[in-house]
Structure 1
Amino acid sequence: MSPDPGESRPRFLVLGGLEIQVAGELTGVRQPKRRALLAALLIRPGRVVPTRSLIRAVWPEGPPTSHRSNLRTHVRALRRLLGPASTVLRTRPPGYALAVEPPDLDAYDFATAVGEGRAAYARGDFPTSIARYEHALGLWRGEAYEEVPRWPELDNEIALLAEQRLIAIENLGDARLSAGLHEEAVADLRALVTVHPLRERLHGQLMVALYRSGRQGDAVDAYHRARTVLAKELGVEPHPELRRLHAAMLRGEV
């Protein structure tokens, strides 16, 4: 379901506060229930979303008696926000559809840049890989669908996007280390393991960055901090890969 030819193509920004961009102008969606309605349509772009699903999203605590007329009011308000692009929000029994393509979403731009970063890394082009991952991560303005009222389907989408963001951060770390940017990576990796203390891959990257910067003692300390936090928070030992890295450092083989 593509927008009509000649129609002003809207863009939707979900990697942070929910915003609509039409003809270069950004518009926020101030009313919480309208944010929820738009989010419910955006997590299924181009597909018909049944009215019952939209009602669950807009009123997760249970709908009022007048929910159907209220939903139509919110749909009309979204169309006004879309302005010249209002026809992308279409009535399609048994519900509504947002007739946009994946490229009209910043989440698609993120996924595309991540794919380019991964491909560049695979062919050994580490500078390009770094640039593409940095571009992908630069699209994030906060948490995905920030300040949108939550319901289970949106929770799942937010969790998926958050995991993809973390994997991109970790892939960027690998690209920087492969490019020999060890000292430059240390500060960012220290901050990341503080924010995401259970991500063992980040701990391993910090250990490598410290070791290859000539800070072998700090690298060993970083392993012990990782081991302590994993034991405290999860009651487990580090993954065998992290233990092998620690052993290799002690043998001077990193």
Structure 2
Amino acid sequence: MNRANPTPATKDTESRTPYSNEEIYGRIQKAVLEHRLAPGTKLIEERLAEVSGVSRTKIREVLNKLAHEGLVTLVPNRGAFIASPSVEQARDVFVTRRMIEPEMARLLSQSATPPQVRALRKHVKLESDARKRDDRPAIIRLSGEFHVLIADMVGNEILLRMMRELAPLTCLVITLYDKPNAPACPHHEHSDLIDAIAAHDGARAAECMLEHLQHIEATLNFEVVKEASPDIEAIFS
């Protein structure tokens, strides 16, 4: 006796390999980095469980981790929402980044190896290719990942953990407050920073990083808050 063919939805559910907690976490974080999950988006446990193929218990574990890092706000009796940084919180993000990233660049310039410099230039090439394709989500994500890559190369686990949290938080800030048609992360500034690191010029590297962060903040408009529509299913496609 032949079995009836399952409906597409049933077939997809049966064939889908459940995501791990880290994969779900990474997908949500990446969606934030690419501005595909906007501040204020409600993360519905049932929907996340459905599209990722895991239980609501696992989804709660991921949401709790994201809340601990400041990317998600848990509201009693209402649920989980992508964080919406206030103007004060947004400014605090940049104060923090200005305090640690110039020193981070200076430290790397002292120890940078040729393979590390090549890796940085390769990453900037990916950013350039994304710009040629006009792939804005990729541009935004790669720009944030560039700063995380520098922290990784420094070899300080605490610093790396901080940058992994600050990069997506910055993306939320940019989503809320960026000015129309204002490039928040001009590509040449990353290249100038790499040149200083390659030359082992710590003072210049720190200066480039500080100017870069100041430029990003200057492109923001803290008087206007924008909204965007979420696409939960797309982050697991």
Pair in the same fold by TM > 0.5? no
More strand by share: 1
- Normalised by the size of structure 1, how large is the TM-score? 0.27
- Normalised by the size of structure 2, how large is the TM-score? 0.28
More helix by share: 2
Larger relative CO (CA 8 A, sep 6+): 1 or 2?
2
